[in-house]
Amino acid sequence: MTSTATQRCAHHPQRQAFALCMSCHKPLCQECATQWDGIWHCAKCLGAKRRAAKPRSRAVGWISAAVAALLLLFLSARVLVWAGALIAGLA
């Protein structure tokens, strides 16, 4: 296989290749090559990857934060009651 230094861009034959698309392995010039997550892609493959990437739900983060806050509130109330009992000499 030839290196990218001797190849021409798949979309612009007058330009020297800068990188290879890691999905379709086409040589790309600097204008056509786009890096996503540290990997070079052409526009077509990058579009397919972005459509396939699923956005994370924010609800899970909010629910876990609420559960953690309620747990902290419960534990701090227990500590406060026991600390008051120790100070009063009831324990």
List CB contacts of 34: < 8 A, sequence separation 6 or more.
40, 41, 42, 43, 46
Residue count of the chain: 91
Q: What is the pLDDT of residue 3?
A: 58
Residue 2's Cβ-side half-sphere holds a number of Cα atoms within 13 Å equal to 10
Which tens digit of pLDDT belongs to each residue from 35-85?
988 889 999 998 888 888 777 778 888 999 999 999 999 999 999 999 998
Q: Measuring CA to CA, which residue among 28, 21, 29 is closest to residue 45? A: 21
Q: What is the pLDDT of residue 8?
A: 93
